[in-house]
Amino acid sequence: MRDIFASHLPTLANFTEAMRDVEELKTLSAVTRRLLLREVLEISRLKVTHSRTAKFMRARTHYARRERIARSKLSAHLKAALMQVKSASESAHKRVLEVNHNSIKEEQLCASNFEVAFLQALLKERWLETHARCEMIIGCLQTEIAQSREQEEYSAAMINPGYRTKAEKQIVPANMAARDSEYPHIGEKTPALDHWFIGRVHNSIKHIQTNLGSGAKIENEPGLISRMFQVLFGETRTPGSIEKELKKQERLGAPDYSWPLLILEPPFAHGALYERLLKRAKSNELKSTGAR
């Protein structure tokens, strides 16, 4: 699934070729360079996937809100109908009692007790039939109102928390609101995702340097990350702006993301393949050190 979202990214072979003449990587062995570029490519796939997911969620906001409003209006109409049926049922009951009382008074003047009792039973039977029908309609309306309310709540929950109105925030159920942290940042022009990418690449470089020692020393890291932005995304990020962000992250820490649930695979740095390549790179660096 990630390959579908990140289909415009270069292959590892093309990425390696595009970075072949970058001065900052020439101090690394071929295996170490490939290890770093493979991991950066995995990080870039996550970045692109996240960005496209956010774009989809921005578009979904319009449709989810339209559905929520439609459900809200439907609930209002159903509630009005429910009140009218209840009122009609109560009015019918009062009317039947009134007719029953007046009819009995008239019949008592000219009819036997048997006829009066028969008239009472007939009126009662008609009222019970009417009441049963009203109760059936009321039950159906109450069921529809509950279902419409649930669908309204679900539609509100589908809207990213950052885009919800005050009314939408109030109707989102607590069990759904508890998962709000799983939504990605969806701002169209926010630089937060670029800052995350810078921090992740820096951590990858730092991890390799820590495990491989002086043989994996990289100079001018901001310039290297700037080149990666250009090759991977066709975007320009100056070394100065990247250096400024790295210094900020040294003070405040690197930004983190709650990734969309559709991304099931862990970042490449936590995979078994990464560990195998790292061991191989270590072995090659030790061999080259001994040869010197």
96-126 pLDDT, tens digit each: 666 555 555 555 545 455 555 655 666 666 6
Q: Is residue 1 over pLDDT 50? A: no
Q: Who wins on pLDDT, 26 or 107? A: 26
Tokens of 215: 């043989």
**pLDDT surpassing 50 at residue 4:** no
Q: Report the range of poorest mean pLDDT among 49-63, 88-102, 243-257.
A: 88-102
What residues does each domain of the chain span? 2-58+188-291, 62-182
pLDDT tens, residue by residue, 192-248: 889 989 999 999 888 888 777 655 678 899 999 999 999 999 999 999 999 999 999
Closest CA to 259 of 66, 16, 1: 1
Residue 58 CA, distance from chain mean position = 10
Question: pLDDT confidence of 266, banded at 50, 70, 90?
Answer: very low
CA distance 220 to 186: 32
pLDDT of residue 290: 54
pLDDT reading at 70 higher than 90: yes
* Side chain identity, residue 111: A
The pLDDT value recorded for residue 222 is: 94
Predicted TM-score (pTM) of the model is 0.60
